[in-house]
Structure 1
């Protein structure tokens, strides 16, 4: 008798934890969800951890005209053919100069 009571409690517990009905997704639906998630991750803008947005006005300016006092403390100006360390620091603003000495892009790292 005790065995039947225990089995009944287990069945009732499983039924309560089962939740609502949920249909299985087809492979096409799962593929569409995965593709949408991948596209969202690819096109998500990178976080602005180095105040890059505040210094976008530097793009196109000559490197010699940059007011270094107005830049964040850890910022670095990288000339066209200069070598730099490959260490990554999310709070560091990198200012890349082109062959003509003008700022071509800004990026964190």
Structure 2
């Protein structure tokens, strides 16, 4: 199962977040033991008081050229594996994500 899927609201991402990762960045796609894939993202923020989640939202908004209000954490607020919704045209968002992954 890929790390993203289109929905009528936009693009849904499966993310494995590493807080206190030294830098903010997207480290590519990683296969999980159960066959699913996740986007590996690291942020500098600590995992306390929602700081890492806020940093994840800010990072994805900047990366995808979206306002923060269009990036929502929909599952996994206190877990390492998270589900994030990027609101907008899923085809455009997917093209941006794939271009960034190809360049990285």
Identify the structure with the greater strand proportion.
2
Higher helix fraction: Structure 1 or Structure 2? 1
Q: Which band: TM-score by shorter chain?
A: under 0.3
Greater relative CO, 1 or 2 (CA 8 Å, sep 6+): 2
Calculate the TM-score normalised by the size of structure 2. Answer: 0.23
TM-score (norm 1): 0.23
Which has the greater radius of gyration? 1
